[in-house]
Amino acid sequence: MRLPASATSCSVPHHRTHHRRGKRRGRAVPRNLYRPHHPFTADGAAVDLKALERLVEFQIAEGIQGLIPLGSTGEFLSVSREERTAITETVVRVARECAGRTGAGRVPVLMGTGAEDTREVVALSKEAEALGADGVMIIPPYYSVPTEDELFHHYKTVADAIGIPIMVYNNPATANVDLLPATLARLSTIPNCRYVKESTLEVTRVRDIVALCGDRMEVFAGVLGYESAWLGAVGWVAVCSNVAPRLSTEMFAAAAFEADREKSLALYRRLAPLLPWVGGPRYVSGTKAAFRLMGMDMGAPRPPRLPLLERDVPALARVLQEMGVTIAARAAAE
């Protein structure tokens, strides 16, 4: 499976092939991937699946080439096992339906299946495959601080249990484990550990991973999309693409594939003011506040996360307006 360049991670608002174990397997993954938020109902008691459907349709209509639900932006630690299943079923189904209606081609779905217990990761990954996901994204166990040997065993155990590719997720700020380039080079020898989402703020990591892994593992930026594009990243798993999917996709493509510095830098400068609002401690609250301003209410974050402070909302609205994002009339009146 070869991923497209632009992917988004879903906010809690395919074509399956069979492969022999030990072979590289799966279909092409697009280059721009989106990590959707998962919309919740107003009281936070349930996932709003209808809002999730609308969100996936919006992202695909705006040019996103792949979806990664149940990541950090999707508050994966704050949903139940039953909600995970419903989210997976909904996103896979809607992505297929959109492809059928538009004729634009299938939009791959990679499900976040990270957990502390390797057995649970295996179970979640097997379920994702059974429900039609094209791959899985797996953050390391985030409490036990595993050694390199333990990490290799963890990922190999999952890889041996499924027939779809794995995107390894390096985010030491949240996982308490830093997958250094040398460690990723070792993980890349596992046949279907095909991709890495590199989410440190050290852009030279991209250079080093590319040098050590070669074509065994492709690099997707997790934070520094613009910078990583020039050092060999083939895609961007972008939080900002929740709110500005087309702009995010066009910026990364202009840098990574067109090598057009003037065009990509101009697009990046349009996008950059949004980044502090959907990064750091505000990556969930800021994104959900932006959706509310856009007239696409995704509900509030689940505790312990809190909504964006109301005093900060007007500043976010100004950033969106300066980017050309339309503010909903009701939101503007509040």
Q: How far is CA 333 from CA 125, 293, 300, 317, 327, in A?
A: 44, 10, 19, 12, 10
Residue count (the chain): 334
- DSSP class of residue 17 equals -
CB-based contact 182:210 (threshold 8 Å):
no
pTM of this prediction?
0.90
The model's confidence at residue 25, banded by pLDDT at 50, 70 and 90, is very low
Q: Which residues are catalytic?
A: 169, 197
Token pair for 167: 């995107």
Residues 47-74: pLDDT tens digits? 999 999 999 999 999 999 899 999 988 8
Residues 180-190: pLDDT tens digits? 999 999 999 99
Residues 264-284: pLDDT tens digits? 999 999 999 999 999 999 999
CB-based contact 290:245 (threshold 8 Å):
no
Residues 196-207: pLDDT tens digits? 999 999 999 999
Is the pLDDT reported for residue 106 higher than 80? no
pLDDT score for 308: 97
Helix, strand, coil percentages, rounded to 5, for the chain: 45, 15, 40
Tokens 């993954």 — which residue?
A: 29
